[in-house]
Structure 1
């Protein structure tokens, strides 16, 4: 079994980005992301409706960090501490040396390579620091943006599950991409 430790919290840096811990001062940005139906259209989770819901989401993220169940970072540009997205190893399976990566970005920043840059850094952290063997991403089949990002980052399509998730009265397909630590 893997031994993982997130203390002190690992800030990550790329050419343009600083990935830092999400905190309560990010509540308005988290609310803007998690309450926006367009941003959430490929994420089968209930929209947050209030600032308190967004604070609960931040508390859940930090609880997962404390309990070594997952780690998420605020995506920020180096020239501004403002959260523009969230990325992380959403679910860690230490017994399988595997984690699930997930991410979201404010639409204003789409098409600029930001998620690709962040994914590459979070994958590098997963392999080099967490000592993962593989990382998976579970996406909606029609999420072309995520498909392109994952393929650009070296992920390979592993599976397409038909109607394997039930959300808001509908059955949804899931596609799994993964990358192995070579």
Structure 2
């Protein structure tokens, strides 16, 4: 079983970005992101409507990090660390299976700039090299083509298509499950 320790909070740096801990000052930007119907249209959840909801989410994210059950980074530019662009995280860490689920969201003003791809590459490296995960899973609305392309660009493979497995707003929706094995496991798989 993996031994996960997320303290102190691990900041990650890329060429353009800083992936840092989310804090209460990020709540207005996060509320905007989590309440915009255009941004959350494929998340199949109700939008946040109050700052109180968003602050509760920030508290949950901090508790998950403290409990070593998940970690979420705020995505910011290195030259503007106070301006939250989006979030990315490894949550639902399952130490006994060396597995976690990745989740992410980006404000639409920053789409098509390679920001999420840059952040994802760094988070996956952290997950595999630092946390020693064996695999990372992603659960995606099948209509979210941009997310599916992003995952495939980073080597994720579609593992399953679940028909009508999720109930939201009075209807059953489908889900697509993607998975990515650690690079060493991928190498062994191609050699074997």
- TM-score of the aligned structures, taking structure 2 as reference length: 0.93
1:15 corresponds in structure 2 to: 15
2:24 corresponds in structure 1 to: 24
1:152 corresponds in structure 2 to: 153
- For 1:1-182, list aligned pairs within 5 A: 1-81=1-81, 82-181=83-182, 182=184
Q: Which whole-Å CA distance do the structure 1 matches of 2:6 and 2:128 have between them?
A: 14
Cα deviation, residue 44, structure 1: 2.1
Cα deviation, residue 169, structure 1: 1.3
Q: Which whole-Å CA distance do the structure 2 matches of 1:46 and 1:57 have between them?
A: 14
Instruction: Give the match's secondary structure for 2:37.
Output: coil
Work out the number of aligned pairs and report it.
182
- TM-score of the aligned structures, taking structure 1 as reference length: 0.98
Cα deviation, residue 46, structure 1: 2.2
Q: Which whole-Å CA distance do the structure 2 matches of 1:102 and 1:39 have between them?
A: 14
- Structure (1/2) with the larger helix percentage: 2
Instruction: Give the match's secondary structure for 2:40.
Output: coil
Q: Please, which runs of 5 or more residues in structure 1 have no aligned partner? A: none
Q: Which runs of 4+ in 1 moved over 3 A?
A: none
Pair member with larger Rg: 2
Q: Which whole-Å CA distance do the structure 2 matches of 1:44 and 1:22 have between them?
A: 23
Cα deviation, residue 90, structure 1: 2.1
Cα deviation, residue 72, structure 1: 0.2
Q: Which whole-Å CA distance do the structure 1 matches of 2:169 and 2:5 have between them?
A: 36
